[in-house]
Amino acid sequence: MSAESMSMKPTETNRCLPLKNQGFDNLVEALEYAAEGETGYNFYNGRGELYAVLSYRELRDEAQVLARRLLGLGCERGARVGIVAETHPMFHRFFYACQYAGFIPVSLPSSVQIGAHKAYVEQLRRMLETCGADIAVSPESHATFLSEATVGMGLKMAGVPEDFDALPESDAELRPMTADEPAYLQYTSGSTRFPRGVEITQKAALKNLSEIAQEGLKIGREDRMVSWLPLYHDMGLVGFMLVPLASQLSTDYLSPRSFAMRPRLWLKVLSENRGTISSSPPFGYALCAKRLRWADCQAYDLSAWRVACVGAERINPEPLERFAEVLKPTGFSPEAWVACYGMAECTLAISFAPLGGGLEIDIVDKELMAERGEARPLPASERGAMNSLCFVDCGEFLPSYSYSIRDDAGEPLPDRRCGRIWVKGPSVMTGYFEDPEATAEVMSANGWLDTGDIGYCVGSRVFVTARSKDVIIIKGRNIWPQDLEHLAEHIPGVRYGHVSAFAAPTRAGEELAVLVAESREKNPAKCRQIIEEMKAAVQTHFGINSYIDLVPSGTLPRTSSGKLSRSQTKRDFLARESWDAAQDGDRFASAEANG
Which DSSP helix (H) or strand (E) runs through 315? none
Q: pLDDT digit string (tens) for 370-388? A: 889 999 999 887 877 678 8
Nearest to 28 by CA among 54, 1, 67, 2: 67
User: What percent of the chain clears pLDDT 90, i.e. is strictly above it?
Assistant: 72
Q: What single DSSP character describes residue 239?
A: I
Q: What is the DSSP track for 132-197?
A: TEEEEE--GGGHHHHHHHTTTS--SEEE-HHHHHTSPPP-PPP----TTSEEEEEE-TT-SSS--E
State mean pLDDT over 297-323: 91
Lowest mean pLDDT among 136-150, 287-301, 480-494, 499-513: 499-513
Task: Give the other-Cβ count within 10 Å of 544's Cβ.
Answer: 18
Domains for the chain: give ranges and CATH numbers.
3-262 (3.40.50.12780), 266-469 (3.40.50.12780), 472-594 (3.30.300.30)
Lowest mean pLDDT among 5-19, 45-59, 94-108: 5-19
Residues 495 and 374 sit within 8 Å (Cβ to Cβ): no
* Whether the predicted pLDDT of 300 surpasses 50: yes
State mean pLDDT over 219-239: 96
Q: pLDDT digit string (tens) for 549-583? A: 999 988 888 776 667 888 888 888 888 776 543 33
State mean pLDDT over 92-106: 98
Q: What is the pLDDT of residue 595?
A: 40
